[in-house]
Structure 1
Amino acid sequence: MADPEADTRNRWRLCTVTQVEEFKSFARILPVWASTIALSISFAQLSTFFISQANIMDRKLGSNFTIPADPVPIFSVINALVLVQCRSFHLRRTARMFLR
């Protein structure tokens, strides 16, 4: 039979300090990683939805030019970039007004 005192002494030495610190680092990164996955999934669905929507809609500009369906999701990205800049500008201006 094993020595019960030796068993209780070694029970707390399951992992090294390095392993515990690495797990704590991983646990800190996990929420960021999970939110990034959710964002990536929504962007993937958004782009495929825009392409299928563009296949159905009328993409003709004039009588000679037709916009292809593949680059249509680029318009949503450009729209998001412009709106983020506008929102940042207005938030800074509003914050300056209240913080003076």
Structure 2
Amino acid sequence: MVNEVNVLSKIPGATGYMIINDGELIRSGGDLEGNLYKADIIMKLLSTCSGHHLTAINEKWNCLTIEFENALYGITVSSSMKNTVVIKKNR
């Protein structure tokens, strides 16, 4: 896990990260450190989206990008939807 955290903290332009496992925030840093509220919102969003196929050939998605005026969130989930990595970048 330490190697993954080292990689996440070195992503150019990243201001925060979260690692969520089975719905529980297990690691976080930067702007997202300890932010259980945002972790809960992200898990609810992923739960809502998880049953939807967003392409014409019904491919399952594994990455979601959410853009706001001042920030961008990149969310990647494992194929089992148990592990989630969130990266925040300022725009």
TM-score calculated relative to the size of structure 2: 0.32
TM-score calculated relative to the size of structure 1: 0.30
Larger radius of gyration: 1
> Which of the pair has the greater relative contact order for Cα pairs under 8 Å at 6+ separation?
2
